[in-house]
Amino acid sequence: MAQKQAGFDHNNFYGAQLFGRVAYHAFEGITLFADEKTRMLASLGSKHILVLRNHGVAVGESSIEKAFFLLWTVQRAAEIQAQSTAMGGEDVVLSDEIRQKCADLTAMLIREDDFAVKFFNAMIRKMHAEKGNSW
């Protein structure tokens, strides 16, 4: 969604979980120079997801497991949004109240129930099973 002016919508299961957590940073070219860090951090503010327009996505969390879960959720939100856009027709728009409830419940799961750790470990097991432990 980095190329779309509107960015992420929050009208699907995964997109709603990102409500209030996404910031955007204008494309400045290839990100090689230290002086862009300050501007990127300013763009990020207190959010956890930074969409680098026309470039990609960066996430920030307090652990690898939480960052992985958040990035996985961002990826799913983008996939669902792209697929639903391809369908045409009018979107079913969720209220900000429902969006906020989804974002809050997801944050609670990650913070209180070690959900991100369980999810990360499950994905590692899945990866090992799919690769036959060959690596």
Report the distance separating Cα 90 and Cα 46, nearest Å: 32
Report the distance separating Cα 96 and Cα 102, nearest Å: 10
The reported pLDDT for the residue numbered 113 is 72
List, for residues 80-97, the tens digit of each pLDDT value: 999 988 888 888 999 999
For residue 5, give the nearest of 29, 27, 31 by alpha carbon. Answer: 27
pTM for the model stands at: 0.86
Q: Which domains does the chain have, with CATH numbers?
A: 13-131 (3.40.225.10)
Report the distance separating Cα 35 and Cα 94, nearest Å: 38
